[in-house]
Amino acid sequence: MMTDRCGVWIKVMDKYRVSLHKLDEQVAQAEAVMKGFLAELGYE
């Protein structure tokens, strides 16, 4: 039973794995968008 759970967890991790580099890129893109919104509103 425990090995079944481990196997399922490994499959989930493989499916949704994101590299740290890719995550950093996504954060930088989101920050750029948010800064744009703040600038439009006069907060930046």
pLDDT digits (tens, 9 = 90+) for 6-44: 788 778 777 778 888 888 999 999 999 999 999 999 997
CB 12 within 8 A of CB 4: no
CA 9, distance to chain mean position in Å, is 19
R_g over Cα of the chain = 19
CA distance 24 to 4: 33
Domain boundaries, the chain: 18-44
Angular region, 42: left φ>0, alpha ψ -120 to 50, beta rest: left
Global model pTM greater than 0.75: no
Q: Measured over all CA atoms, what is the biggest interatomic distance in the chain, rounded to whole angstroms?
A: 57
